[in-house]
Structure 1
């Protein structure tokens, strides 16, 4: 039985690692093969094929439900009902629309929409909307958040921007009730932590600020502020423990067997909490796991602790095979597996404080390989922070918040309990801030598979009982994972990354011993690409220090991420074409026309049109030359600045040209292209950008000059080794079945 369950789980999990889904005709054939194997008792292979076929079929249904290519970028009138809890963020009302209908086209069953400057939208309302629809498109960078995988896992078939709309029907249904309750919670005076209480009670994290998320990430306590398996399990454990305690004291009715009642009521509590939180995929996963554990406690304890774990794993994946695309799935099951491994076979009772302390450090070691494989930051202070925060939130804040929410109809009592819960939460955040300032999170660079495998074996050895031979070897095996080898360019060459930052620019140029960042990506309100994309990508590439941050000019799409990057990395010097327009704490100096230096055999030259006062023409231009091969980075210079560079007599020849101003019509003049004579032009832009970049006339001009065009929208982050005289590689070329090429 166990072998068959393991094989079924392997087949279901194989979906996560497929570069492309198998053709539709092959899946029924494989299912038939699995049925034919059953009479021969080849159960493991048969179950693997069943799981694989079901997972691929479910994924194909989700892919088929995405927006049609011909509708990408079109504006349509449609009708639908708002689902989930809408959130106000970055100046827009963001919400999901279920089962939208349009007279002109067939639409996906779920849309994710943003309405800038629109009215307040409530859950459960029915709307008629004019929406500019877009196929799901995410940024693709080294170890970055995979937005396209997240959309598919949520079965969201398209995104869109609302242009106009009218409300057709009032709010109704469970979502409407949750929305009303959220608004009531946000009205409570809770020391400014009303958003945190809404997150703990309803699973709505829109009230948490960027600073809050940064703090939670640094301390490894993100799981405390989103309703996860821990919260659902805690609620179930409290009910189970209450009934068990009453039975032990003799206060439970004898005619009712306490164990079945405890398990049933504990599961009912988990389901009730899940429904209050919206019963999203993570909560459903937690409820399944809790149900399996309670069933094991009731009837199947003699079969060991791994049976409910396997049952829960298969149950979650059978219900939603796309759950394996989410990091939370892997972390939750890995966490339970680590605890089962550490505590299931222990000899003799441990004191509660010893068990609690052991759980924290073993979780830190056991989840380390999973966090690194998923490209997530590792909280060095996590064991200490969780030692304090888990009981604080679990036994104080959450019970008070839930009880206060339940008693809100009683004037003053519910508000008082929520006030107390908010005060305790604020106190916790102050403690976490001190811990984070002392030990911030660590982002590991990308590592070879063999280094990760050695580290995973080392972590497993350290988790085994103390008497296991060679257990101490685990610490030595962890060392390469904590300090993986870095592949640096040889002297005389430079590694260049044009990061995929949407409508903006960020280019990394790294030599053997030095690193330069040309522009820092955009920032729009609280959404900072520098913090969310550029800094994590640099750390994934083992860049922890910048010798120079060169900001072409002060526009937000080029300089917006500078402050966040300066906070995340050590920056030696900052230069810009518009230093006076940048934040004062950057201490930026001016870009000097004609400045030249050499790093590790690679030559750098900066140019700036001296007559440019400000704006795009004042962009600092950078020429990089390695082993006779040249790259020209141009910022947002326009045709006038291009003409000035040509007239100044500079040697602009370069094999690689970053398209000025993202390929706008006002740049990339014929005179400039004749002077540069590039073989390839690189364009950094955002999909469906409002400026129409790159302009069709510019693309026609590139083709007329025989220039190859590479685009971050089509290729994701672009990498080339300057000086090797080779070809460019596109990160989107690393195929995933959910990712469009």
Structure 2
């Protein structure tokens, strides 16, 4: 039985690693082959093939439900029903629309929409909306999150921006939204948003600083409703019935164990209903149901069976769950605990089991965190040692009881006030921990190094006294395995995908330069959320130079976040006086240059330029005779000035000035530089029309190959090797649109 379930789970999880989905014909062949194997000694292979076919068919259904390419970017009137809990953001509201229909187009079943400065939207309402629809898309950088995978796993077929709307069917019973408003209105000692996250699973109101503290201390799972909360609700009910039975207060005619299991499941379902039954909650409820069934009737089958049953059950219901990092972390944490605590000789006292559980999870989840590219919190064992019982035994019971008793005047508010105060103390402690020991972002490991770490973690978690535990600790040193260095005389150039902005990382053998730092505006700072994490994941912990071409927010907006997060030896800028004083930027001077590891860098600046764009600092990089020109946002006037100063300076690669706008990339400039490749950084759905069709035609007429971050993701090349450009989307994944 276990062998077949292992095979089925392996087939279901194989979906996560496919570059492309097999065709219908191949699926039919594999299905027939799997059915045939079930009657032979190869029956495990049969289960594996059946799981694989089911996962691929389900994924293809989700892909087929995506927005058609012909509708990408179009504005349509449509109707639909709001589902879930709309998230209030600083700029408006974000919500999901189900049962979307339009008169002249077939739409995906579910859409995710944003309405800037829009009205209050409630679940259950039916709206008629004018929406600019977009195919699922997101920024794509090395070792960063993949938004397309997340949207597909949630079966969202399109995103969109609402331009106008009309409420068709109001609702009077939007109880979750009403409850959220009620919780936000109580006095929670400043932690009302955290109470909403804990009770309803809506973390949209948490401040960025709170999220950073949770992430740095490894305690995000405490505020976002997860299996722990569902298990706690069930455990409290189970423990209450067991305690009453032991004290003789439980009716003797009712067998306590079936009642304890049934009431525990009822408590979990009630909490899940309160939280809106999101995918993690559904997964937790299914896992709990299996565990309770095991406790009631099937304990003789061992402790690993419930986990295996829950794993297969979750993936059979939703095979796309394997695309989400939370799937691997939640099952990984439970598997580690089962591996370490089951079938051990001797007993541990409760406090010993609790303290060991923290370091066991910290070590056991290392391979999973490395694989999904998430930060590793060094302070997580200490933080969870205190925070988990604080939330589980104090905050959550107070919050849930206070929510239930809100209709009782004064009682519910008082309990929520106490819960908010307890949360405030917790966030203060987590903030100190995060400041003392920020989250560690390790470099991506080669496969061999990752396997060494995974094997080392497995050996370290063996029971005390068994051989090879010491070898496991040594194998964990592969975490610091050396990465490939840049050869002398070459530059690794990485143009990050930062939407409508610019950020380019240049690394020689021993030096690093960042040209522009990404955009920041309207509460969104891509320097903080994209540029800085990407640099850390690439092993960059300091910059020799940060060069900010000019002061516009799409180039300089993320500079402060990078400056706060990394040590920077020198900051240069085309408009040093316009940047924040904290950067202490020096003015870019024409003719200044330097050489790093056999690579030359030279600056050019037009201080008399009539506008900010024209005063961009231009950087020319040459490695082994191959040249790259980073032009910032210079326009026609600055291009003429550059040509007057530099003449016919041919380059191999050109960062397209001003994102390919019509006001730049003039004919004389392209003819003089004669690039064989052009790098364009822009937002896929930007409102400026970048890059302009005339500019694209001009480049193509001169034989330049165009590389666009909006289409290819982050762009990488080795200057000095005379190779080509690699786009992040060149790494095939079946869920990526590739257009």
Partner of 2:84: 84
Partner of 1:326: 324
Q: Equivalent residue of 2:79, what SS?
A: strand
Root-mean-square deviation over aligned CA pairs = 1.0
Deviation at 1:579, TM superposition (A): 1.4
Partner of 2:676: 679
Partner of 2:253: 255
Partner of 2:483: 486
CA distance in 2, matches of 1:172, 1:259: 41
Partner of 1:25: 25
Q: Equivalent residue of 1:489, what SS?
A: coil
Deviation at 1:635, TM superposition (A): 0.5
2:625 alignment partner, one of 622, 625, 628: 628
Deviation at 1:613, TM superposition (A): 5.4
1:568 alignment partner, one of 565, 581, 602: 565
Partner of 1:408: 406
Partner of 2:688: 691
Q: Equivalent residue of 1:631, what SS?
A: strand
Deviation at 1:621, TM superposition (A): 0.5
CA distance in 2, matches of 1:118, 1:269: 37
Deviations 1:88-114 (A, max 9, x none): 224121111111110010100000011
1:584 alignment partner, one of 567, 576, 581: 581
CA distance in 2, matches of 1:34, 1:470: 39
8 Å Cα contact 2:632-2:657 kept in structure 1: yes
In the alignment, is residue 230 of structure 1 matched against residue 228 of structure 2? yes
Q: What pairs up with 1:299-698 in 2 under 5 angstroms?
A: 299-481=297-479, 483-612=480-609, 614-649=611-646, 652-698=649-695
Q: Equivalent residue of 2:248, what SS?
A: coil
8 Å Cα contact 1:189-1:419 kept in structure 2: yes
Deviations 1:172-219 (A, max 9, x none): 56xx21111111101011111111000010000111111111111100
Deviation at 1:352, TM superposition (A): 1.3
8 Å Cα contact 2:38-2:47 kept in structure 1: no
Deviations 1:487-515 (A, max 9, x none): 11111111000111111111000001000
Partner of 2:163: 163
CA distance in 2, matches of 1:447, 1:722: 24
Deviation at 1:717, TM superposition (A): 0.8
8 Å Cα contact 1:210-1:526 kept in structure 2: no
In the alignment, is residue 195 of structure 1 matched against residue 193 of structure 2? yes
CA distance in 2, matches of 1:448, 1:185: 47
Deviations 1:583-607 (A, max 9, x none): 2211112111211101111100111
Deviation at 1:650, TM superposition (A): 5.3
8 Å Cα contact 1:124-1:172 kept in structure 2: no
CA distance in 1, matches of 2:53, 2:354: 42
- More deviation, 207-216/560-569: 560-569
TM-score (norm. length: structure 2): 0.99
CA distance in 2, matches of 1:88, 1:78: 22
Deviation at 1:707, TM superposition (A): 1.1
Partner of 2:718: 721
Q: Equivalent residue of 1:100, what SS?
A: strand
8 Å Cα contact 1:219-1:432 kept in structure 2: yes
1:285 alignment partner, one of 283, 286, 289: 283
Deviations 1:532-566 (A, max 9, x none): 11111111211111111111111111111111112
Number of aligned residues? 738
Deviation at 1:627, TM superposition (A): 0.6
CA distance in 2, matches of 1:274, 1:208: 21
CA distance in 1, matches of 2:547, 2:134: 34
CA distance in 1, matches of 2:452, 2:172: 54
Deviation at 1:41, TM superposition (A): 4.0
Q: Equivalent residue of 2:415, what SS?
A: helix
Deviations 1:608-631 (A, max 9, x none): 112125511111101111010000
TM-score (norm. length: structure 1): 0.99
Deviations 1:614-671 (A, max 9, x none): 5111111011110100000011011001101111235632100000000000000011
8 Å Cα contact 1:593-1:610 kept in structure 2: no
Deviations 1:291-339 (A, max 9, x none): 1111111111111110000000000000000000000000000000111
Q: Equivalent residue of 2:483, what SS?
A: coil
Deviation at 1:525, TM superposition (A): 2.2
8 Å Cα contact 1:371-1:378 kept in structure 2: yes
Partner of 2:109: 109
Deviation at 1:714, TM superposition (A): 1.5
Q: Equivalent residue of 2:669, what SS?
A: helix
8 Å Cα contact 2:67-2:107 kept in structure 1: yes
Partner of 2:203: 205
In the alignment, is residue 47 of structure 1 matched against residue 47 of structure 2? yes
How has the CA–CA distance of structure 1 residues 651 and 537 changed in structure 2, closer, same or farther, with 3 Å as cutoff?
farther
Deviations 1:143-186 (A, max 9, x none): 1111000000000000001111111111256xx21111111101
8 Å Cα contact 1:143-1:536 kept in structure 2: no
8 Å Cα contact 2:647-2:672 kept in structure 1: no
CA distance in 2, matches of 1:292, 1:616: 62
CA distance in 2, matches of 1:145, 1:308: 31
Deviations 1:407-456 (A, max 9, x none): 00011110110011000001000001111111110001111000000000
CA distance in 2, matches of 1:564, 1:574: 14
In the alignment, is residue 737 of structure 1 matched against residue 734 of structure 2? yes
CA distance in 1, matches of 2:492, 2:457: 33
8 Å Cα contact 2:148-2:735 kept in structure 1: yes
1:215 alignment partner, one of 213, 216, 234: 213
